[in-house]
Amino acid sequence: MYGLFQQWLLAEYESVETMLFQEFNGDQRREKVNSIQRYLSWRDAKERTESYRGSLVWQEVKGERYLVRSYYDASGKRRQRSEGRRNSETERLKAAWDQARQEAMERLKSLREVMARQAAINRAVKLGRVPMTGARIIRAIDDAGLLGNGIRIVGTNAIYAYEAAAGVMVNPDITATLDIDLLLDARMSLRMVLRDEASEPTLINLLRKVDRSFTRTSQTFRAVNDEGYLVDLIRPQRDPPWLNEREQIGEAEDELSAVPIHGLSWHESAPPFETVAIDEKGGPVRIIASDPRVFAAHKLWLSRNPDREPTKRRRDAAQAQVVAQMVARYLIHLPYDRAELRMLPKELFEQAAGLFDVDKTEDMYTF
């Protein structure tokens, strides 16, 4: 039976014989490890520096001097509170705060320089993968506190997370894309972190920080920039479909409204998959996608949809195959197990099982 399935898969994706992926070489493996270690240190330093956003200054009120702290709450709004009258205790508090803030800023600056050097090394060893526009969008979503907290990366861009974790590079014919799909988890209460009070907490404004040319199209779930790069906000189709759920992140007149799509509930219910990939310029980008086993099964299901365009079905089949084989060969902590994948329909789970047979496609791993 597997032989018939394999014949079908090869027929669906005519160029699969050009090979699906190749492993990192020694230099790439070494620099990937270095990149992750340095990125995590930079992230810690960034979070520490951001904890000192605001100020701690003396203010005179009715002839008395007070130590006043300005800070930002969880929603990004600026607040103030008094730490007390000026005395030896509040002077020590201010001196310690000023010193810690300065040390945090100096460490972050030093690590930025380290990251810039690492990016140059990553470019030299050809480690960069994630297209820049997509990487900037993912970083903006992460910086706003939404990545993994209401939004996941799905579709082709998720493959960059899977290949980074597996230590391989997928054939560019399979990953080339000029769009990004953002899965909105309508079940969650979302809170966007604002970095300046002038911004309205909306997804469209977040995209415009990446590229001012982004505008919402007539299809209200989609934004496009001047270069034709598309951003789609999508959500699972519920049954019944009229269930009242969140469709938007913000309330702006031109905010994106998520379009319901059948099959996305499998991604929504799947465990999150987090890793650090490398963008085209050598910089690290944290990606949170859904479980790669669910990705492969969903792509197989799409490839068998007769209403889908033939070219997309062939691409879906190839993506299903390559992600399943990365899981089977390298992500062995993720067994294709029914107990862990109960969000998949039983029939689809069984149909996709053949994709994860590591012994059947030995000739497909270099390009």
pLDDT of 253-282, one tens digit each?
999 999 999 999 999 999 999 999 999 999
Kindly report the number of other CB atoms within 10 A of residue 192's CB atom: 23
Q: What is the average pLDDT across 214-220?
A: 97
Mean pLDDT of 113-138: 97
CA 226 to chain centre: 23
Mean pLDDT of the chain: 89
Q: For the chain, which residues make up each domain, given as ranges?
A: 2-24+127-364, 49-120
Q: Which pLDDT score, from 0 to 100, does residue 197 have?
A: 55
Residue carrying the six token digits 């899977």: 162
Mean pLDDT for the stretch of residues 144-162: 95
Task: Please give the backbone phi and psi of residue 82, each rounded to the nearest 5 degrees, phi first.
Answer: -90, 140
Q: Can you give the pLDDT at residue 327? A: 97
Q: Which two tokens stand for residue 239?
A: 């049954």
pTM: 0.87
* CB burial readout 46-83, b (16+ within 10 A) else e: bebbeebeeebeeeeeeeeebbbbeebeeebeeeeeee
